[in-house]
Structure formats: structure tokens, C-alpha cells
Amino acid sequence: MENKFKFNWGAGVIMLVFSLLFFVLIGRFFYIAYTKHIENVDLKAYAEEKWTRHKTLDANRGTIFDRHGQAIAKDIPSYTVTATLDKKYPTHINDPAAAASKLAGVLDADEGTIEEALSKKKLFEVQVPGGRKISHSDKEKIEKMKIDGIDFRPETKRYYPNQTFAPYVIGYTNEQGENEISGAFGLEKTLDKYLKETNGSLSFKSDTKGVKLPDPGEKIKKPKNGSNVYLTLDEKIQMVLEQSMDKANKKYKPKKIIGIVADPKTGRILAMSNRPAFNPNKRNIKDFTNLAISDPYEPGSTMKIFTLAAAIQEGVYNGNETYKSGQYKIPHNRPISDHNKVGWGTITFNEGVQNSSNVLFSKLAREKLGYDRLLNYLKKFGLDRPTGIDLPNEKSGRILYNYEIEKLTTAFGQGTTVTPIQQIQAATAIANGGKMMKPYVIDKVVDPTDKKVLLQHKPEVAGRPISEKTSKEVRDILETVVTKGTGKPYQIKGYSVAGKTGTAQVVDKESGRYAHGWGQNVFSFMGMAPKDDPKLLVYVAVDRPHLKNNELGSYPVSDVFTTVMKNSLQYLNIEPEDEKETKRKISDSSIKIDDYSGEESAKAEDELKQKGMKVLTLGSGSQVISQQPSASSGLLPGERIILRTEGDVQMPDLTGWSLTDVLKFSKIMDIDASVKGSGFASKQSLKKGSVIKDKDYLTVEFEKPQMPSVNLSDESGGGTE
């Protein structure tokens, strides 16, 4: 039987198709191997990308320091809390409700919001609500909870360690993209080009598990930290200003408070703040106006300082000349009245200054100086233009000088508007021998790598509106305002203060007219001390405080001014004048102390006590390692000497200590300290007997043992004095 071959067409077609596919694949393989491209995709580059790992090398934004190198704005480590939800992963969130209950006690989010986020489906990982950029201490609290599935992503955040501290000067930052910070307000914004950092990068070849290959081909771009900014602000003086303003704000609930402390010799601004204020860490800001430089208003009688200076400079002021107070009549206008409406009868020009007589200053403007000469001096004092301070958004007031009534009211501070910083600049001429100093806040900007100074501001004379002789005469008269006149509440025991009160009327925005009622004014004081050689110039203004019937407008202003001025003078080691006199009398018997470093503490203590000194030894060691005051200091019997030995130091009881002694203690322990009030120490934040640790922060409250009685009857609660 013959076998016949039968061709299976179905199998043949299939074989043919597979053969064609095979040759296509082989052809495609050789094409790719030869060209190394797949439809414009560079396979070599694609492989490089797959093998290469990239890491960001974080840089830090520049730090902002005060004039002594204390950081007031800096980058600190932070952590963002994440939660793994994928149940296939070894550690994940097992019980969202329980985890949320624990986390809500630490994070800034409610329990329900956190639980909702931890209960999401089909997600591998989520960021926990309220867990963005938490502190290291909060991270440690969460770690102790031992919640499965919780992890932390390290980051950096901008931090302002003093909280509400010159916020309108320093400003704050915003985040742009992941871990990228840019200035958004204040100096953080205007100096952003200096402060801004540049992150670096690291790339290397690795296997699929991230392990470096033998030839990793590392490429490193180094990070560049931002430049550091040094300000003229003094942390201690600024803290005293902030605390005293907080106290007045809480007690009197005014619309606004403005405070500025300046060095009149240089124009350096040592402190500046407003109320309302905000905490840049929380950014709870409602108004973006820096009132100290951007809010022109009628200054009231502090303007009389400059009218007085002009009259003295022109030789038309005679302090012993008399005039009739009460009213000053001018043709075709309503008469000018003194703030008490009836005046004080016939009095001398000096008594008119002491009583803040509007009639006197109208007379000086119209009869003695003349309007043109007065305007010329107001311009010499810079009251017609911005100061040029190195802060953003400065505005200038406007000299209202069209009609005769406006020229008269300008002479005593009504109608014309100026800013607080304009008044500060003008007043430096009074305090600084006739030389008017331009105010500034930025000392220098320094590159942290090579220490190169990129920007530096130095004291700059803005004009010489009056002579040294005139400035001294003005200060002598302004001292009598404080000792005999409307400035009595601003006396500071031991220090001679020269200054001028102000009570300005406020225009009601709704009616367009001056507001009326008890306390419906801006109360202010411009003061300098010590009078003969002023080291500090302080301006405080309080807008419409809530006053009781028995309270005067000077109350909240003097609370701030006297606290700031006295504590700042003591902090700067400006001795009270009565103490200077006492020291001069016993200078021959002043005590010189030795350097006791390395000596037995018991022996040093005995020797000092024999010299009549109070001695406090800190530490558990037996040898002295440091002392305050230092060796060879000329001291008076009974002064406190602090010796420090090695070992732990227990916190002493500071009750009854003077500010000077508290500062000695903070210096020898190298801890930050802030003070509240004046007088002698009454409360302390660190408990007596507790062991002092690095980075401890000490707050000490001071109280006066007895408030002196002050006659305040010469200042009214409303109107323009």
C-alpha cells in the first residue's frame, strides 16, 4: 500500500507566521543593538538613569543675629510624620483609631482628622495631619508611643527662638516646593538674595538595591549656605520692650502701641516693635504695617521739641520772658487754646514748655521765628521726607502748611503728620550735640564660608540742624519738663531724663472728625537719658487706651518707657548718677579683687569676705574656674562676687537680687536671661535647687519695693497738650 504525503495547510500557515515573527524580532534585535535607540529613546542614557541614584544635599538659610551674635532667626532640624498604610508592608498602621488618639495629643490636628487620614484605602503611605515639620522634642514624644507604621522624614524649618520679637522688622519666610524656603515679609524678604541657600546634590551608580557599584562615578555639587545677617537690634533690650508692651497691651487694651529704642550717637536701632504684633513661628498676622516706620500720624506735643530747638538756635527764645497763657488770638481764625483751656495765668517761656502750652509755641512760631524760618527748621530736622532707614515700606508724613492756622498747629504737633522713625531721627540731633543720625537696623551681611562682608552699614550723619550749644540748652529745658512739668511720670530714680510728652488727637475714620472722649488720643513720650550725655533715645506711643476715670494717658506710656529705659541703662552698665557720686566719694577705698582661677574656692571665699564682699560659690568642685566680676575690677564693699567651680551647679534663690547681680549670674553660667519689671528680683523661672543645664533659659521678674508718690495732676487724659 502506497503512503501519500498530505500537506497540512493550517500548520503551514502557523509555521510561516511564526517564522516571519522570528525574523522580525531578530531584525529588530540587531537594529537596536546597532543603533542603541528605540523610537528616539537613547537606551544607554536610559540605562544610566536607571543605574544612577540622586540625593539632595541640604543647605541652610542664613542666620539672622542681633548685635551681640545671638541668633534671632535660624534654620533648625524638623520632621514630618508619615504613616504606612499598606498591610503587606512589615510595619503598618494596625488600628487607625488608637493611633489617632495618641497622635492628637502631640500634633496640631484633631483626633477625627488624623483617624480619617490613617484609614484611607489603596494608599501605601500618607502624611499625618498636623505632623508637618514638628520639633525634635515632639518627635521624641511620638517615638515613645511606639506606634507601628509611623515614620519621620527629616527636614529643615525656619525658627524664631524668641517668638514675638521685632516681628515687623525680621518678618518671616514661606515654603516654595519641598524643603525650599524664601523670604515673604520684612528683612527675611528684602534680604532674601543674601539669606537664600543653594542646595547641593550627589549622584552615583548603584544596583537595584541602592548599593554603590565598584565604579560609582560619583558627582557632587556642594551645597552653599545662605549669608548671615547681623542687625543692630539688642536681644536683651528688645525683650524688655516686648515684655513691657505686652503688659501695657493686656492692661489697657489700646488700639496700637509703638516703641523704638535708638542709640543717638550712631543711629543704630536697638529695639523696635508694635502692638498688635504676631509670632512669626505661627504667622498669626492680621496687619502688615510696621507702625514705627509706615504709619504717619499727628504727633502731638513731642513736635514742640523741634520748634523749641529752632527758636533757641535762632536766638529768639528767652526762657525768663513772660506771656499770658490760656488763649492766643489770631485774625480771621478761632483762637488757639492751651490743653487745659484756661492756661496758668502769666508765666515764663520755660514754664510754658514745662506745662506744654500751645499758646507759647504759637507765639514762638508767629512772633519769634516766623513761619518761613520754622518750616526751614522742620525740613532741616527731616520731618518732610523719609529717613531712608534700611527697612521695607517706609512712608513719610506730610507737613500741613497752607493756611496760617495750619502753620500754628504744626508748631505744636497738630494737623501735620510724621512717623515715629522720623521723630527718632530728628531727636538724635537733640541728644547728639546737634548731629542728626540716620537710623539703621542692618549692621552687616557676612558670607559664612570665607567671612567676606557683603554689605555693611555704618553711622551716617543725616544733617546738622542745630549747634551743640543749642542741643544742650534744649536738653536742659526738657529735663525740667520731667522734673517739674507734664513729664513727671517719666522720672527714673538715679537717672536724669530729658523729654517731652505728647497727647495727639485722632481723626475718626467714620466721621472724618477728631474723636472725643476720655482716652481717645495718641499718648506719647520722647525721652533721652542720661540728660548730659544721652546713651539711649526712647519713643513710646499708645493709641486710645482704655482708661478708667482715675487713670491718665501717661499711665500706659510711662509703664513702658520707664521700664525699658531703666532696665536698658542698667544692662548697658550706665551707672545711676547718685551711685556715681557715692563711688566718687569713696573711690580711694574701692576694692580691687584678684583672679582666683585655679585657687581653692574656700580660701578665695574667705579672702573676699574679709574684704567686705558678698560671695556666692557655684558648683560642687573645690577649685575656682571663673568669677564675676573679673579680676582687678574696682568694687565697693558689699558688692556680690560670684565664684564658679567645676561640677553641677544648683540654681540659687535670686530673691532680692539687683539686675546687675542677675546679669553677673547669667554671664558666669552662660545662659540666656530675660527680665521683667524693675527694682529687685521677686520671681524666677528656674526652681531653686534645680541643676542648671545647657541651653536653660532664665526669666526673672523684678518688683519695686515701694512705688514713689508722683503728682500726675499736670497732664490731662485727652486733648492736645
Residues assigned a catalytic role: 301
- CA proximity to 275, closest of 166, 171, 189: 166
Q: Is the peptide bond before 161 cis (omega within 30 degrees of 0)?
A: no
Instruction: Kindly state the cell numbers that stand for 84.
Output: 504606612
Among the listed residues 210, 200, 217, 203, the one whose alpha carbon sits nearest the alpha carbon of residue 54: 203
How far apart are the C-alpha atoms of 430 and 475, rounded to whole Å?
A: 7
- Whole-angstrom distance, CA of residue 299 vs CA of residue 414: 7
Closest C-alpha to 675, from 240, 343, 122, 326? 240
Return the DSSP state at 562. H
CA distances from 166 to 175, 250, 609 (A): 21, 18, 44
Listed residue (179, 195, 167, 147) closest to 78, CA to CA: 179
Cell numbers at residue 1, please?
500500500
Angle at 414 between CA 413 and CA 415, to 5 degrees: 130
Euclidean distance between CA atoms 77 and 54, whole angstroms: 22
Instruction: Give 250's contacts (C-beta < 8 A, 6+ positions apart).
Output: none
- Dihedral sign, CA of 430, 434, 439, 445? negative
What gap in Å lies between CA 218 and CA 53, rounded to an integer? 10
Sign of the dihedral through C-alpha 185, 188, 191, 193: negative
| Euclidean distance between CA atoms 288 and 192, whole angstroms | 18
Instruction: Report whether 278 contacts 469 (CB < 8 A).
Output: no
Residues 216-233, buried b or exposed e (16+ Cβ, 10 A)? eeeeeeebbbbbbbbbbb
Distant-in-sequence, close-in-space partners of 462: CB < 8 Å, separation ≥ 6: 267, 382, 387, 388, 425, 436, 437, 438
Give the Cα separation of 482 and 476 in Å (integer): 10
Closest CA to 86 of 131, 25, 151: 151
CA distance 225 to 118: 37
